[in-house]
Amino acid sequence: MPQERPRVVILGAGFGGLEAAKTLARAPADITIIDRQNYHCFQPLLYQVATAALSPAEVAWPIRHILRRQQNATVYMAEVTGIDLTERAVNTKSGSFPFDFLIVATGATHSYFGHNDWAAFAPGLKRIEDATRIRRSILEAFEQAELARDDNERRRLLTFVIVGGGPTGVEMAGAIAEVARQTLARDFRQIDPRTSRIVLIEAGPRILPAFSEPHSAYARDSLTAMGVDVMTSTPVIRCDERGVDLKEGRIDAATVIWAAGVVASPAADWLAADHDNTGRVIVRADLSLPGYNNVFVIGDTACVRGAGGVPVPALAAPAKQMGHYVGRLIIQRLAGRSVPPFRYRPLGTLATIGRRAAVVEFGSLQLKGFIGWLFWSVVHIYFLIGLRNRFVVALTWLWGYITFQRGARLITEVPPPRPQG
């Protein structure tokens, strides 16, 4: 009887899961990729969907299309309900999938630090649906302000609060400022969108804390010049449907966007595994689950420490490195060889602030301003999956750059937010 090919099951087709699948393209194994969505979402550009610059289809791509030529890969759209480590099977709403190797790469979602009821008032930005929901909320605020007959209500509608001064918060604040000051400037009759108030609130002492002090200050100055109120050392005490409470007082705002914290997907529950305080599974040096050398956890779902014990950041590049590492490890193990422990190679980090302004820290390459923005654009275009997407996004950006316009300003219906767990 011929030996059956080993079965590798990958949960999640984000940056980590997809990279693992691609690395295993030539492995003598059957690869199954399971995701609850049918698409891979390019999360770094999701804020551009939320601010109407790009359409969802320009930052997302069907998983099975990406892997269509990889004959050993099968893609299923299914929702995981649990993992049976003893029986070596993943249970989903659409049946059970046995595995010989398992790679868990299910990502992370926003964390409200114990205040899950805030999710209803302050949506985060992790999924396509989050982005279209925020887009609807921003555009509707302007529409309702145009109709408002009360000054206080109009002011509340034209106030936008972004909680969290990391890259996503900075990008959102900059993009909303551009929407208000430029894109919409001439489109209303009763209101002047340029009078909108955009507030970026950070609990820590400075925004972009992962960047150097000078870049952090540059980001702050750039945002201030764009008309954003930057408030640091300001924790949010409470969110409700009409605004936020701070130590300093209350800000009435129709739109509050949450960019403050993340929590890993429920993988630690599925695996009954030890995890850190953001739910990330503690893994061994080869990214395997303690006690199971055929089960791996990667990307935002894993708690991994790099050189000097510094945690590996929850970004696309480390997730891809982990995916590639585990793919290679499985190939080597099937050939009877072993590999050294995972080593994180920091590539660098970058954040855009607005039209013509970005900060880039790639080792000794430190850029800011227009040249940083150009670098940021090229890097993101380069990493976008799918030829057509790259091309369309590049054209859309060029067009938007020349005209200040945003093509995706549609208020479409959205489902209610998912309950936070």
Residue 228, phi then psi, degrees to nearest 5: -95, 135
Stretch that binds a second copy, among 5-13, 52-60, 102-110, 305-313 (CB under 8 A): 52-60
Q: Is 404 in the site for a second copy (CB under 8 A)?
A: no
Spatial distance between the Cα atoms of 232 and 164, rounded to a whole number of angstroms: 9
Give the residue from 328, 344, 343, 341 showing the smallest Cα distance to 101: 328
Q: Which of residues 86-105 bind a second copy (CB under 8 A)?
A: 94-95
Rounded-to-10 torsion of CA 364, 365, 369, 374: -170
Catalytic residue among 4, 79, 87, 171: 171
One of 146, 229, 240, 269 touching a second copy (CB under 8 A): 146
Give the residue from 37, 35, 40, 34 showing the smallest Cα distance to 59: 40
CB closer to a second copy, 139 vs 359: 139
Stretch that binds a second copy, among 185-193, 198-206, 267-275, 362-370 (CB under 8 A): 185-193
Q: Is 76 in the site for a second copy (CB under 8 A)?
A: yes
Exposure of 342 by Cβ count < 10 A (0-12 exposed, 13-18 middle, 19+ buried)?
buried
Smallest separation (angstroms) from a second copy to the CB of 186: 5
Q: Which of residues 108-137 bind a second copy (CB under 8 A)?
A: 128-129, 132
Q: Is 45 in the site for a second copy (CB under 8 A)?
A: no
241 is catalytic: no
Stretch that binds a second copy, among 5-13, 98-106, 182-190, 198-206 (CB under 8 A): 182-190
**Beta-bridge mates of residue 239:** 244
Q: Which two tokens stand for residue 120?
A: 């209803």
Q: Is 77 in the site for a second copy (CB under 8 A)?
A: yes
Spatial distance between the Cα atoms of 41 and 47, rounded to a whole number of angstroms: 12
Stretch that binds a second copy, among 105-113, 216-224, 350-358, 407-415 (CB under 8 A): 407-415
One of 6, 22, 55, 206 touching a second copy (CB under 8 A): 55
Site string for a second copy, 339-378 (x = CB under 8 A): ----------------------------------------
Active-site residue set: 171
Q: Give the binding site for a second copy (CB under 8 A).
A: 37-39, 55-58, 60, 62, 64-65, 68-69, 74-78, 94-95, 128-129, 132, 139-140, 143-144, 146-147, 149, 186-190, 386, 388-389, 391-392, 395-396, 399, 403, 405, 407-415
